């Protein structure tokens, strides 16, 4: 049997002299080294995206690095989505996509999206930068205290990094890369690459006085434009978190009263609204159910207003009539949280009342 044998097919693979990041790095690395390795990975992801390939499973175990640290490889394309139909790996709407290294909301089973958004790869890559600096996986974009991965304590692992003059640039990467709403993250890997190059001073050049003045003016204008967006981001992250916390509290109420609460505690974004389904039964074997939905919506000029409402619907969670109980400014996150807390007992009581009415029919 030879390579020219017409009856057989052969594939020749590159022999990679590298090992996973988890084996190569035994302790957190410095800021510049972490950014340098992440930049090498980002360039590979960029090549994939240019070819219409979305990896969807970027994590330390799927990245190899050689002993000198100047070459990396991205491996394990088992969850890849590619434009070429024979390479497509289809994830159904009820399946979880991505990995446990960092769970992304757009990859949750409850989402209806196709789970093949190239922006998710950019977020995974930001997660690799975080891992290199801490050797901790980001796990979730927002924890129960509404903190992003880099805002958590992490046993002081980021203290030395935060003393680096380049930390504000890296923090800005995390602030954007770990935003809960995918529309506020890096919209493509090229945007992330530019930021990484900026940290390493690869994009620095001599500017004339005029160019310097123009740059300052541009930065000031971007800051003015960014402020309402920043407030909206914070409010939308809070809305997602408040919705999920409400579901968790209803679960606790059900446990204490021997009822069965069936929500998966995951808020779903539909347009400018964040909804969480609330399903209640007397017990697992009972066929009677109450289907309620709680939603928080943003509206008005630049989404400067936010409202909270709830309603009852069918098994498909289709609500005919919404009961609005709060409306205020997007910046007043505390006011929104207080309103939800003040009304949750009333919503719960209505759910239980409807459930008992159904059971008595």
Q: List the chain domain ranges.
A: 19-199, 232-360
What does the pLDDT read at residue 310?
Answer: 95
Give the CA distances from residue 299 to residues 174, 233, 303, 327, 334, in Å, rounded to whole numbers and listed in that order.
27, 14, 4, 10, 18
Q: Just give the CATH number of 19-199.
A: 1.10.510.10
* Per-residue pLDDT reduced to its tens digit, 196-227: 999 998 765 555 666 667 766 776 666 555 55
**Residue 303, Ramachandran bin (φ over 0: left; ψ between -120 and 50: alpha; else beta):** left
Q: What is the pTM of this model?
A: 0.59
Q: Coil, strand, or helix at residue 267?
A: coil
Fill in the DSSP letter of residue 260. E
* Per-residue pLDDT reduced to its tens digit, 299-358: 887 788 999 999 998 877 788 899 999 999 888 888 999 999 999 999 999 999 998 888
* Nearest alpha carbon to residue 64 among 93, 94, 44: 44
pLDDT under 50: residue ranges of the chain: 1-2, 85, 87, 93-94, 96
Q: At what angle do helices 189-199 and 167-177 cross, to 10 degrees?
A: 170
What does the pLDDT read at residue 196?
Answer: 96
* Nearest alpha carbon to residue 136 among 243, 75, 78, 59: 59
Number of residues assigned to the chain: 361
Give the CA distances from residue 282 to residues 119, 262, 308, 349, in Å, rounded to whole numbers and listed in that order.
42, 11, 27, 14
């Amino acid at each position: 049997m030879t390579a020219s044998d017409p009856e057989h097919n052969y594939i020749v693979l590159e022999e990679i002299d590298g090992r996973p990041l988890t084996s190569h790095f035994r302790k957190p690395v410095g800021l510049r080294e972490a950014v340098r390795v992440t930049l090498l990975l980002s360039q590979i992801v960029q090549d994939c995206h240019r070819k219409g390939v979305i990896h969807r499973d970027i994590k330390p175990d799927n990245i190899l690095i050689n002993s000198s640290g100047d070459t990396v490889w991205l491996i394990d394309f088992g969850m890849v989505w590619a434009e070429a139909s024979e390479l497509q790996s289809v994830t159904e709407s009820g399946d979880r996509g991505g990995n446990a290294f960092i769970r992304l909301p757009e990859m949750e089973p409850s989402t209806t999206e196709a789970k093949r958004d190239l922006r998710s790869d950019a977020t995974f890559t930001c997660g690799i930068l975080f891992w290199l600096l801490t050797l901790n996986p980001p796990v979730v974009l927002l924890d129960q205290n509404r903190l992003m991965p880099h805002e958590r304590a992490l046993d002081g692992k980021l203290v030395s990094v935060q003393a680096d003059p380049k930390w504000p640039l890296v923090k800005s990467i995390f602030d954007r890369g770990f935003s809960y709403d995918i529309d506020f993250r890096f919209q493509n890997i090229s945007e992330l690459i530019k930021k990484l190059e900026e940290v390493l001073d690869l994009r620095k050049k001599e500017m004339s006085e005029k160019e310097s003045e123009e740059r300052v003016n541009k930065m000031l204008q971007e800051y003015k434009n960014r402020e309402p967006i920043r407030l909206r981001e914070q409010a939308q992250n809070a809305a997602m978190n408040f919705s999920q916390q409400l579901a968790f509290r209803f679960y606790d109420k059900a446990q204490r009263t021997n009822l069965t609460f069936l929500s998966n505690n995951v808020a779903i974004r539909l347009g400018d609204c964040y909804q969480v389904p609330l399903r209640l039964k007397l017990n697992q074997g009972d066929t009677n159910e109450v289907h309620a939905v709680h939603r928080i919506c943003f509206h008005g000029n630049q989404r400067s207003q936010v409202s909270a409402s709830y309603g009852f619907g069918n098994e498909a969670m289709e609500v005919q009539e919404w009961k609005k109980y709060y409306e205020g400014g997007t910046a007043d996150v505390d006011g929104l949280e207080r309103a939800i807390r003040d009304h949750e007992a009333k919503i719960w009581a209505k759910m239980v009342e409807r459930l008992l009415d159904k059971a008595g029919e």
